[in-house]
Amino acid sequence: MLIKSHTLFSIRQVLLRFSSSKPSEFTDVNKWISKVDIMPRIKVERKLRHVKYRERMGDKLKAPSFVDVVVIGSGGRGSPRSVIIDTSISKYLFNCGEGTQRIANEHKVKLAKLENIFITYKSWDNIGGLLGMSLTLDGINVPKINIHGSPGVENITKSYKNFTAAYTTIAQLEKRELSEGDFTDSAMKVEYIPLYNNERAGEDTSRDHTQDGGGAAADEPETKRPRLLKDVDDIAVAYLCQVSPLTLTRTSSSKRKINLEKCVDLGIKTGPCLGQLVEGHSVTLEDGRVVHPDQVLNPEEKKQQILVVECPHNGFLAPLTSCSQLRELQSADSVEVIVHMSPADIIHTEHYQQWMRSFGSATQHIIINSTNTDVSHLALYSTQAKLNLLHPTIFPLLPQFMDPTQRDMDAASDSSSVRGHTCLKYQLRPKNELCRDQCFQLDREQFVKEAMDMPNVPQLIEDVNSRLKHKSTEGPKYPEVVFLGTGSAIPSKQRNVSCILIHLSEDSAVVLDCGEGSAGQLYRHYGDLTDDLMCKIKAVFISHMHADHHLGLFSILSERRNVYRRRGQTSPNLTVLAPRYMRRWLEFYSNNVETFKDQLTLIPLQESNQQWQKLDAVKTELQLSEFVPVEVDHCPNAFGVSLVHKDGWKIVYSGDTMPCGRLVTAGHGCDLLIHEATMEDDLEEEARHKCHSTTSQAIGIGHQMEAKFTLLTHFSQRYAKLPLVSGKFTDNVGFAFDNMRVTLSDLPLLPLFTEAMKAIFADHYNDMEEKSRKKMRKKILIKDLMANASTSEAEEPKTDDKKALEISEAAEEEAHSVVQT
């Protein structure tokens, strides 16, 4: 039986209410909620425009009119390695690390035509954003997602049911195996070129590629292929993409076109002679002249080929440089652009450099790896520069603003090899050209000017500065709370998904949730100090197993391990406090990517009482007198947490939840409540369906808890810059931004900034207010019309239920029409 998603919402909500009212029966209710979560559901789909066009044209679909290679992630620290081949028909993504969809969305790379994702090597750097991207593509009704790559790269998407929202489904996912041969559609033919690890069996091939180093000899013969692809699990795949010629459709032949003007000049009459020439045969004219096909046929269209390649480590260097398929390309000189996703220490070896040069000077090389230092998220820096006008330490300038590497792009590079900056574009069609017009550099002065040009902003900033002079901010340096992600569901330009870093002391810190891209956010906030910070992180708390709260965990683990390796030290275990289902996620990662089992200690939150010895050790290391996980009302096994330090301060984090009495009890009298406020007050019904809180509900929990200050976070991405502010925002209520940094003594300053923030982001804020007014007017009109309909129904007792429904629907349509007018 299939059930509509909104119906399942309602069933789930009733069960959650029941669990709140009858805690003694909560375990049984959880079982029912789990059953609701796995029920099949109807997904209402609307076909995308290009899908309808493709179905209508069928085999007559023409070759793409334009073809661009666009760099999405430059591969620099905090940025994924990814490119998109963009055509007028389809898009093709190569590698999908954490943060890929965020960059694509910010720079208006429309993803609706993305149906094929190619993975060069099975590593978290390449697949960390695959689950989030799949969910996004599903949300915009992409009918099918084909994943290409070595065996197992698609497994992350198969595990989604354990880690995503109950009401979420992923579109049809299909893994195309290497053994199936080349992939072909109307825009491109993609040839798989598998490369096999040439290192000795059992040798540790995991490397830290952030530093340059020596290479391996590459003059060995090409590695013999195993009999079956499934017999090997360490495979890199290069992709040779050949663009469909403009002269062909899917059903036309590859024969050269005849030039009729040349036929007239040679005196060739219409008839069978023309057909013979097209077939490639010479013909003899009546006057005895012999005409050859080359005299009248147009030349063959030059192949337009793109090669995407990654050599993950030294074990692949010999197989890459000796690969016969790639050597054929070198001799043919037919590759127009090569995208190199190999790490710096591999690219800098003489063997790799020699292999690059063998393609000839006409080939354009684009380097995507850790040597790139450009900025990928322009909006994030723009927002921070504007907020910095209000307070220099609460909204600090990010390190890249002071980075001297913000220099002329590729000034020292030769013309045939360039760094892959975000938004760099190489055009293959209609003309061959390297385009940098969409690339950008930070311009703090321009960001400040944009803010100061807004009405009333200079006066409001002056007023803030005046009031700050009379506010004392003296107090303890710790705890210091740094917000690295304050958005919900998916990352946006201004807000990444959930992540909060709390500095407990000079040498210890704890992370509360870490959604996709959290490691990148850490680097953008701390710059060169990131390595020191990684060593200070002692524990990570995961509130629940939704993707926007935990997908960044492995990048943090990987970065932390690499830091210790560079320092020649053994990485101490990181404590992960998470729901018990984190075990499945860790097992998946260990079985499919790499193992971290010897680098972390997992304490399931449901078993914290049974594992009190481990928990006591964590509390001692973090100097906490209390660590109290609290089950909250969101999804099964969702938790908030109350932290009490030995110095006496208390911080409570709600995680994702509806208003929850258990959290109020646990957090009573806290110094700081960090509470989710996903929805505005007008969307209370939607918040209830999705088991979230509105801003007023979150503030109300703070009042019930008698919290000294309530700080709101986890905003729906519709409030990208700031949420709607109501009269309930008192002097002990504030809202968080990405890269905001506060101590307990800073909290009273936050309400002072509200009016200035509304002025700085006036365009966005006024638009939200207008939308809110429209929703309110619509609600009032619907209520009045429904009341009139009910009155009419009471006067006519014979009106049946079907008629009442018709009246209701008519009333709603009329109200909607009035509001639109």
Q: What is the residue-wise DSSP string for 472-539?
A: -----S-SEEEEEE-B-SS--SS--BSEEEEEEETTEEEEEEE-TTHHHHHHHHHGGGHHHHHHHEEE
* pLDDT for the residue numbered 16: 53
Bridge partners of 742, per DSSP, are 481
**Nearest C-alpha neighbor of 377 from the set 299, 493, 526:** 493
Bridge partners of 145, per DSSP, are 173
* pLDDT for the residue numbered 777: 84
DSSP 250: S
Tens digit of each residue's pLDDT (9 = 90 or more) over 586-606 = 888 888 888 877 789 999 999
* pLDDT for the residue numbered 232: 54
Bridge partners of 189, per DSSP, are 184, 242
| Backbone angles phi and psi of 397, in degrees to 5 | -65, 140
| Backbone angles phi and psi of 712, in degrees to 5 | -90, 145
| Backbone angles phi and psi of 351, in degrees to 5 | -65, -40
CB of 603 closer than 8 Å to CB of 576: yes
Residues 6+ apart with CB under 8 A from 768: 680, 718, 719, 724
Bridge partners of 485, per DSSP, are 499
- Compute the distance between CA of residue 79 and CA of residue 103 in angstroms, rounded to an integer: 9
Strand boundaries in 506-573, DSSP class E: 508-514, 537-541
Q: To which residue do tokens 């059953």 refer?
A: 35
Compute CA distances 489 → 135, 518, 583, 626, whole Å: 10, 14, 22, 30
CB of 215 closer than 8 Å to CB of 351: yes
- By three-state DSSP, how is residue 62 classified? strand
Element (H, E) at 283: strand 283-284
- CB atoms closer than 10 angstroms to residue 322: 19
Question: What stretches in the chain show pLDDT beneath 70?
Answer: 1-45, 59, 159-171, 199-233, 247-255, 301, 403-415, 792-821
CB of 354 closer than 8 Å to CB of 416: no
Strand boundaries in 361-463, DSSP class E: 364-367, 417-419, 425-429, 433-435
- CB atoms closer than 10 angstroms to residue 205: 15
Torsion of CA 1, 585, 603, 624, to 10 degrees: -100
**What tokens were used for 386?**
């504007």
- Compute the distance between CA of residue 734 and CA of residue 173 in angstroms, rounded to an integer: 42
Residues 6+ apart with CB under 8 A from 469: none
Q: To which residue do tokens 């109020």 refer?
A: 664
* pLDDT for the residue numbered 28: 55
Burial of residue 542 (number of CB atoms within 10 Å: 0-12, 13-18, 19+): buried
CB of 366 closer than 8 Å to CB of 69: yes
| Backbone angles phi and psi of 724, in degrees to 5 | -70, 135
CB of 120 closer than 8 Å to CB of 149: yes
- Compute the distance between CA of residue 189 and CA of residue 191 in angstroms, rounded to an integer: 7
DSSP-assigned states of every residue in 609-658: TTTHHHHHHHHHHHTEEEEEEEE-SSSTT-EEEEEEETTS-EEEE--S-S
